Amino acid sequence: MKKNNLIEFLNEKVRLYNQPSFISEDPISVPHRFTKKQDIEIAGFFAAIFSWGNRTTIINKSNELMKLMDEAPYAFCTGHTDNDLKRLLTFKHRTFNTTDLLYFIEFFKWHYSKHKSLETAFTLHGETVEEMLTGFHHYFFSLEDAPPRTRKHIASPKKGSTCKRLNMFLRWMVRQDDKGVDFGIWKNIPPASLICPIDLHVARVANRFNLIYFKKTETLQVNWKTAVELTKYLRTLDPDDPVKYDFALFGLGVMEKF
């Protein structure tokens, strides 16, 4: 497909999926239940970190956690008692268990005691998104009692991960338009600097359109380099807002099985 035709095609898919009707069946519906900035950040972070597997299950488990937190995640994380934590002891989502959850809450309590927004957990640790994600990983696990098992839930470019879930969370927080899906509540990370979330569904579509390249003899595998390569191409389509095409690639790969 010629590039002009490709841009027109992908822009049409962005328009199709980047609209309020997309929200209800996507994990972004979880933070959309809240209006307080810090509630949006915490609910969004959990929903993003839980985002592997069936989307309905992801949403249900995220909402279950919000209910356990009295539908006020910021107040719960920063003001809970030991007795409040007892109700969380049976919570589990796939390999994310109580140990992980209690540490996440401890981190949020510690961070918000010093900062008004989760944004600084990223922006104080680098200039580029790659630097921010690497710095965030170190920062997140800087508490003395950080459980080794919990490290698998927070990806890092240093380990070659695509950081798909964290890049999706950044998209939610940073991107802003008039469509009402992404929040755009963080103002210190330019949308142009974001990295497109990529998994095997998105990679399959991107490879089909030659946005990334795999030899026919290669197994389709993705890593941080692949995410950067895809985003570099998307910036040629829209240098100011390259990750808007996440809507198109995700929609084609997951919704349309393209």
Q: What is the pLDDT of residues 175-223, one digit of tens each?
A: 999 999 999 999 999 999 999 999 999 999 999 999 998 766 566 789 9
Residue 139 CA, distance from chain mean position: 17
Asked if 111 and 118 count as a contact pair (C-beta separation under 8 A), the reply is: yes
pLDDT at residue 241 above 70?
yes
Torsion of CA 33, 39, 40, 43, to 10 degrees: -80
Measured in degrees and rounded to the nearest 5, phi and psi for residue 247 equal -60, -45
Task: Give dist(CA 70, CA 77) in Å, integer.
Answer: 11
Confidence of residue 97 (pLDDT cuts 50, 70, 90): very high
Q: In the prediction, which pLDDT does 217 show?
A: 56
Model pTM?
0.96
